[in-house]
Chains A and B, each alone.
Chain A
Amino acid sequence: GAVVSQHPSRVICKSGTSVKIECRSLDFQATTMFWYRQFPKQSLMLMATSNEGSKATYEQGVEKDKFLINHASLTLSTLTVTSAHPEDSSFYICSANSGNTIYFGEGSWLTVV
């Protein structure tokens, strides 16, 4: 099946700093990618839809100035958590559509200390 790669898998950053997470589709082109957040023992919460060459569409309640999404090419979307705080610590997962099927990245654990 299609492969979606996410990097880094784990990152620790200091409060107030910014951190960037990359999501790549390795063997297909993705005009649309999705960013999710997942809390322990909870389901996936869609944060935003990332559209290649245009602005991302954010879900209600997600701060677009805090979670910056860039989708500069058909194989790469990035999520930047700006001025991170401990409450931003979470598991962030990206996904991309290949046809009607959705494939997920491996996820990125963010810990803000």
Chain B
Amino acid sequence: QKEVEQDPGPLSVPEGAIVSLNCTYSNSAFQYFMWYRQYSRKGPELLMYTYSSGNKEDGRFTAQVDKSSKYISLFIRDSQPSDSATYLCALSGGSYIPTFGRGTSLIVHP
């Protein structure tokens, strides 16, 4: 079992839909949880960062962490075609060296 599991997709949704992206993990030592967006042929861009269970909201994005279930989610409201990208979850413990999911490819079609 990999430390971090993430469905690669692709996930295709219509414009305006609510998108749910998820990762599960097995290492309870992970304390920091991040979501990155990566457009094709570009470096990952930090979207959300959290270190506790619960929800964190930033504009159309909401990050959710459930440490008891070892499950993290990223929700995108009112999805736009410009949200089409690969979304990577990243988790780290005290060393700050993150473990990445393999990324979920999201396609938002008009």
Contact = CB atoms under 8 A, between A and B. Distances in A.
Contact of A102 (B41, B96, B101): B96
Contact of B102 (A42, A101, A102, A107): A42
A41 B8 CA distance: 9
A49 B97 contact: yes
Contacts of B71: none
Interface string A31-61: 0101000000111101001000000000000
Nearest to A44: B100
A71 to B, nearest CB: 15
Given A42-B102, A43-B101, A101 B34 contact: yes
B106 to A, nearest CB: 14
**DSSP majority for the A interface?**
strand
Which bracket fits the contact residues of B?
Answer: 20 to 34
Contacts of B101: 43
Given A43-B101, A104-B43, 8 more contacts: A43-B103, A91-B41, A97-B96, A100-B92, A102-B46, A102-B96, A104-B46, A107-B42
Interface of B: 8, 32, 34, 36, 41-46, 49, 51, 88, 90, 92, 96-98, 100-103, 105
17 contacts: A1-B46, A43-B101, A93-B43, A100-B32, A100-B49, A100-B51, A100-B96, A101-B49, A102-B46, A102-B92, A102-B96, A104-B43, A104-B45, A105-B43, A107-B42, A107-B43, A109-B41
